[in-house]
Structure 1
Amino acid sequence: MPRLVTISRFLISIAFVLSGAVAASAQDRRQNAPGEFDFYVLSLSWSPSFCEAASERGNNGRGTQAQCGGRPYSFVVHGLWPQYERGFPEYCQRPSPRLARNIMTSMLDLMPAPGLIYNEWDKHGTCSGLGERAYFEAIRKARAAVKIPEEFLQLSEPKTVAPDELETAFIKANPGLSNSAISVTCDSKRLSEVRICLSKDLQFRSCEEIDRRACRRDQVLMPPVRGG
């Protein structure tokens, strides 16, 4: 009798392992299936904050030099990220298809660092279900769909701003954009990014989870644009 009990327990444990493996497999298929996602996040990075933080860290790598050299940048595209309603996919093809250099160079006006462009393709573009050219065309269309408020294009002096005030400025400049479709992120003191949620056809849409990750500071610093 004890032997039968032991065998039964063994079989039950095997069943649990197999059921867990099936559940994990189902989750993995969702995570790794290009094109199977719910919406995009267009992430716009405030370049002066990135450069100031990099300088404080003593980071003078090639990517930093490309973005923080002589040319002035305000908001630049960090990426266009496929998202689930909860969580997000990443690195959906390993190894990822190699991004053609001519496509990379064509994006430098919006994403001013080659390493950033290659990384965004590997980490996020491979999850979009689009080919490399179509994915970066989608980034360009998404960026064109968002108007940067006039007061931030040539910011010549440091500006302290409340995240809500920044969101309001974007909403005013972009008809159809609501406060449930935009969030502001920050570091310990500076504005980091403005993130805007878009449907797969690049229309503004709400995204509660992205909004929950927003900056909770009352005010953030926007360093000025070089030469602005």
Structure 2
Amino acid sequence: MRVILALLLMAGMARAGSDRPGDFDYYVMALSWSPSWCALEGDARGAAQCDPRRGHGFVLHGLWPQHETGWPAWCDSDARAPSRSEIRAMVPIMGSAGLVRYQWEKHGRCSGLAAGAYFDAARRAWTRVRRPAALRQPDRPARLAPAEVERAFLAANPGWTADMVTITCKNGHIQEARICLTKDLAPRPCGADVVRDCRARAARMPPVR
């Protein structure tokens, strides 16, 4: 019973606030370390994103509308789905058409923007963030402290502070760098439920293939 209550409370926190399109406080831009995702999930699926010819390092997982506590998801919106050309334009930085569609349905509709405008915002956010040069094309496996990855992002992006970026882990791997942005895509401090970093002392960071 306690486990069920805890899960219900967590679900409530996740959806705290409104699920009306456009009603949110800021964005979280999630940059996924593609080699980790491939090692944990993508290879088993035969995902095209994991083809060595793609050479993916960090990819754009998504641009997520966020409340100061919790986040909206699967908002009821009559905005049209993205066109094939809009989806194709995002694949080089997101890795797959399936992810582009999923992110639109789960998060993009909550932005209150048309699909083209939402993905334009995502591209602009992506291009404004300098991904650390040392982490762009590593050619050998590494074990890094999440704090090292965070410091690399801070060094590459002068003016950022530690509460603007969060490094997450999954199953012993560096998973994502999550950067908090205003609705105008300027860096801002993350909410208390986003700012918590991975607590592992070190985590695997597979090389770009």
TM category (shorter chain) comes to: 0.7 to 0.9
| Aligned residues: CA RMSD | 1.6
Equivalent-residue separation in structure 1 for 2:120 and 2:79 (angstroms): 18
Q: Which residue does the alignment assign to 2:57?
A: 74
Q: Which residue does the alignment assign to 1:192?
A: 175
Q: Which AA in structure 1 matches 2:60? A: V
- The alignment's TM-score, normalised by the length of structure 2, stands at 0.87
Q: Which residue does the alignment assign to 1:203?
A: 186
> Structure 1 pair 77/55, CA: closer, same or farther in 2 (3 Å)?
closer
Equivalent-residue separation in structure 2 for 1:220 and 1:194 (angstroms): 13
Please show how residues 93-108 of structure 1 align to structure 2 within 5 Å.
Answer: 93=76, 97-108=80-91
Paired residue for 1:135, among 118, 121, 124? 118
Unaligned runs of 5+ in 1: 1-27
Equivalent-residue separation in structure 1 for 2:167 and 2:76 (angstroms): 30
Q: Which AA in structure 2 matches 1:45? A: S
Please show how residues 1-228 of structure 1 align to structure 2 within 5 Å.
Answer: 31-54=18-41, 58-60=44-46, 64=47, 66-69=48-51, 70-93=53-76, 97-207=80-190, 208-212=192-196, 214-226=197-209
Deviation per CA, 1:27-82: give whole Å up to 9, x if none.
Answer: x9x522111100000000000001111267x322xxx2x20112110000000000
Equivalent-residue separation in structure 2 for 1:190 and 1:96 (angstroms): 36
**Are 2:42 and 2:49, in contact at CA under 8 Å, matched by a contact in 1?**
no
In percent, how many aligned pairs have the same letter? 43
**Are 1:82 and 1:128, in contact at CA under 8 Å, matched by a contact in 2?**
yes
Q: Which runs of 4+ in 1 moved over 6 A?
A: none
Task: State the Cα distance separating 1:206 from its structure 2 match.
Answer: 0.4
Equivalent-residue separation in structure 1 for 2:95 and 2:165 (angstroms): 23
Q: Which AA in structure 2 matches 1:49? A: S
Equivalent-residue separation in structure 2 for 1:115 and 1:218 (angstroms): 33
Equivalent-residue separation in structure 2 for 1:55 and 1:147 (angstroms): 25
Unaligned runs of 5+ in 2: 1-14
